[in-house]
Amino acid sequence: MVDAPASPVARERLDALARLVSGPTDREEPTRTDRDSLPIHAPYDDSVVGEVPSCTPDDVRDAVSKARAAADEWAAWPVEDRVAVIRRFHDALLDRREDLLDVIQTETGKARVDALEEVLDAATAARYYGNHAGQVLGSTRRGGAIPLLTKTVEHHHPVGVVGIISPWNYPLSLSISEAIPALLAGNGVVIKPDEGTPFTALWGLELLRECGLPDDAVQVVTGEGPTLGEPLIEAVDYVSFTGSTEVGRTIAETAGRHLTECSLELGGKNALLVLDDANVERAARGAARGCFANAGQLCISIERIYVHESVADDFRDAFVREARALTLDAGYDYDHDVGSLLDDALLETVEAHVENAVEKGATVLTGGRARPDLGPYFYEPTILTDVTPEMTLADEETFGPVVSLYEVETVSDAIEQTNDSAYGLNASVWTENTERGEQVATRLEAGTVNVNEAYAAAWGSFDAPMGGMKDSGIGRRHGRRGMLKYTESQTVATQRIAPFSPPKRGKRLWADSASFGVLLWKRISELGP
C-alpha cells in the first residue's frame, strides 16, 4: 500500500465544480439524476476524488444551443469589453493559482512545477490575445481589383460556436487557453475535456463567469469522446481538437462529413540534436527538462536525441547525471521534479515500449522501471541507447519519460534521421553558434524548432504559430492564426465609377484596354511599394 498524499481539494469543492457541467434544459428526459456518472481518480493513489455526469448526445446539442444563444449577445459586445473580461481572468487566475494547482495535480498526478506551466500558459494566452484582439479582429483595407476604383475591406466575424476537444495531459492549457482566442473573437465555446480530467476546465469556467463572462457563453460537457464527438462536431461551427493522431483522423473524417472546419494538434516523436559545438552541460540540462517535464506526457517533449560523435560521451554522461538527479515522487508542493503517469493504460504502454526495446537489444542507461513504491503509475526517467528501427519506440510515440539516444557522424545525418518520421511537431537544436542552429532548424520538418531550448521557447512565443507538420496535425494555435481560425473572413468590395462588364459595343477596344491596364499594373508594381 502506497502512502501517497491525499488531495487537498475537498470533495464538496469538486462536487460544486461538477454541477457546472452543462445539463438538460427544456428536455424532460434524461434528467441529470438519470445520467450515469464518471468517477474521477487521483493518479497519485488511484483513489476516487469526485464524479461528473456522463453527458449524452442530447446534452451536447443543448450545450451548443445555449452557447449559440449566449454568443449572439457576447459577439455584440464591443471588443474592449470582451477584452476586459479576459484581463480580469488573467489577474484572478494568478491570484488563485494555488487552489487551481491543487485541482490540476489532483486529477493529473503531475508535479506542481508542471502544473504551474499550465497556469502561466493560460495567463500568457489571456495577456497576448487581450492585447492583440482589437488589432487582429479589426477590419482591414485590402488592395482592390482596380486601383482607386475598387474599395476592398476584409472583415472578421465570429464563426458562432467553437467546440474544443482536449486531452488530459495539459487540462488547462489545452481547454481554457484555447478557449480564450475563440471567446475574444466573439464566439460561444463548448469544451469536451478528457473523461479523466474534467475538473480543471470546470474550474476555469467558474472563474471566467466570475470575471464577467455571460453565463452560457462557455459550456463544458463531460463524458466519453466516441459518444460525444460526433454530435459536437455536427452542431458546432469549428472544432479545435488536441489529442492523438489516431483520434485526430476520426475527428477529421467526421468534420469532413459535416463540413465543419477543424484544427488538429496531434502527436509527436520529437527530436533533439546536439551539434559538435554544443555546450554539453547546458544541452544535458535542457534535454532532461525536454524529455521528463510532465513525466514525458507532453506532445512537444523529446523522445529522440541525436548527438554528434565528437561530444557523444560527454553528453551521455552529463545527461544521465541530470536524469538521475531528478526527484520523482508525489506531493502537492514544489519539492519534486517529476510526477506520476496518468493511469494504468499509460504505464502499460511505457513498460511495453521499454520491454520491447530491451528484448531486442537496447541498453538502459538509467531508469527503465516502474516505481509502485511511490504510487501506482510512477515510472523512472529512462534513457535508452542501442535503439534500432525494429523496436516499437523507434517510431511510435511513447508519451512517457523515455528517450532514445543515438550517436551520429554528421549534422546531415542528424537532420535526415530527425526527418525520417511520420511526425513533425517539435524539435530542438543545441549549438554555441546560434546562426548555425537557426540554419539547421529550417531544414527540420517540424512545426516548431527551439535553438538551445527544448520546447518552452517556441511554445511560449505566443506571437508565432504553433502546430504540427505531417501526422502531427493540421492548422496552428497561437499568434494571429490562433485567433483568426475562429473567425469567418468576409470581403466587401465596392466598385466605383467603372463597372467590370464589357460594353455592348466596342468589345475589341475594351479587351485591348483591359489587357494593357493589367500589363501596366504589373509594370508599376515592379517599381516597388
Q: How far is the CB of 464 from ligand NAD (least distance, A)?
A: 14
Our CB check for ligand NAD shows the closer of 108 and 187 to be: 108
Nearer to ligand NAD, 154 or 343 (CB): 343
Q: Which is nearer to ligand NAD, 90 or 476 (CB)?
A: 476
Tell me if 473 contacts ligand NAD by CB under 6 A: yes
Residue range at the interface with ligand NAD (CB under 6 A); choices 76-84, 191-199, 483-491, 517-525: 191-199
Contact letters for ligand NAD, residues 102-141 (x by CB under 6 A): ----------------------------------------
- Helix (H) or strand (E) run with residue 134 in it: helix 112-137
Is residue 299 close enough to count as binding ligand NAD by CB under 6 A?
yes
Question: Around 228, how many Cα atoms within 13 Å sit in the side-chain half-sphere?
Answer: 28
Which of these, 407, 326, 408, 405, lies nearest to 371 by C-alpha position? 326
Closest among 303, 336, 386, 326 to 5, alpha carbons compared? 336
Q: Which stretch binds ligand NAD (CB under 6 A): 26-34, 214-222, 245-253, 484-492?
A: 245-253
CB of 272 to ligand NAD, least distance (A): 16
What is the torsion angle, in degrees rounded to the nearest 10, for the CA atoms of residue 408, residue 409, residue 412 and residue 415? Answer: 10
Count of CB atoms within 10 A of residue 348's CB? 12
What grid cell was written down for 112?
A: 506542481
Q: Is the four-CA dihedral 446, 267, 488, 208 of positive or negative sign?
A: negative
Q: Which of 102, 194, 322, 380 binds ligand NAD (CB under 6 A)?
A: 194
Q: Closer CB to ligand NAD, residue 38 or residue 411?
A: 38
- At 317, list the grid cell: 554522461
Instruction: Name which position in 24, 109, 267, 437 contacts ligand NAD (CB under 6 A).
Output: 267
Amino acid type, 505: R
Return d(Cα 511, Cα 489) in angstroms, integer.
32
Give CA–CA dist 380/438, Å, rounded: 33
Q: Which of 118, 299, 322, 407 is catalytic?
A: 299
As to burial, measured by CB atoms within 10 angstroms (0-12 exposed, 13-18 middle, 19+ buried), residue 95 is exposed
CA distance 137 to 158: 9
Give the shortest CB-203-to-ligand NAD separation in angstroms: 17
Beta carbon nearer to ligand NAD, 144 or 475: 475
Residue whose CB is less far from ligand NAD, 85 or 172: 172
Stretch that binds ligand NAD, among 57-65, 240-248, 383-391, 427-435 (CB under 6 A): 240-248
CB of 345 to ligand NAD, least distance (A): 9
Pick from 131, 150, 152, 244: which binds ligand NAD (CB under 6 A)?
A: 244
Between CA 444 and CA 417 the distance in angstroms is 10
Pick one of 130, 204, 225, 437: the residue that binds ligand NAD (CB under 6 A).
225
- Say how far apart CA 232 and CA 37 lie, in whole Å: 19
Q: How many residues bind ligand NAD (CB under 6 A)?
A: 29
For residue 420, count CB atoms less than 10 angstroms from its CB and return exposed for 0-12, middle for 13-18, buried for 19 or more: exposed
Which of residues 3, 29, 141, 226 is near ligand NAD by CB under 6 A?
Answer: 226
Residue 250 binds to ligand NAD (criterion: CB under 6 A): yes
- Do residues 382 and 338 make contact, with C-beta atoms less than 8 angstroms apart? no
211 is catalytic: no
Query: In the complex with ligand NAD, which residue's Cβ is closer, 170 or 199?
Result: 170
DSSP, residue by residue, 370-392: B-TTT-TT-B--EEEES--TTSH
Stretch that binds ligand NAD, among 141-149, 265-273, 430-438, 512-520 (CB under 6 A): 265-273
User: Smallest gap, in angstroms, from Cβ of residue 346 to ligand NAD?
Assistant: 8
Find the binder of ligand NAD among 54, 242, 421, 428 (CB under 6 A).
242
- Is 265 known to be catalytic? yes
- Residue 194's φ and ψ, nearest 5 degrees, are -60, 150
Question: Which residue in the list 107, 118, 230, 265 is annotated as catalytic?
Answer: 265
Q: Looking only at residues 148 through 187 of this chain, which bind ligand NAD when binding is defined by CB under 6 A?
A: 165-170, 174
Give the largest CA-CA distance in the chain. 94
How far apart, in Å, do the first and last CA atoms of the chain sit? 73
At 463 the three-state DSSP class reads coil
Q: Catalytic amino acids?
A: 265, 299
Q: Which residues bind ligand NAD (CB under 6 A)?
A: 165-170, 174, 192, 194-195, 225-226, 229, 242-244, 247, 250-251, 265-268, 299, 397, 399, 425, 468, 473
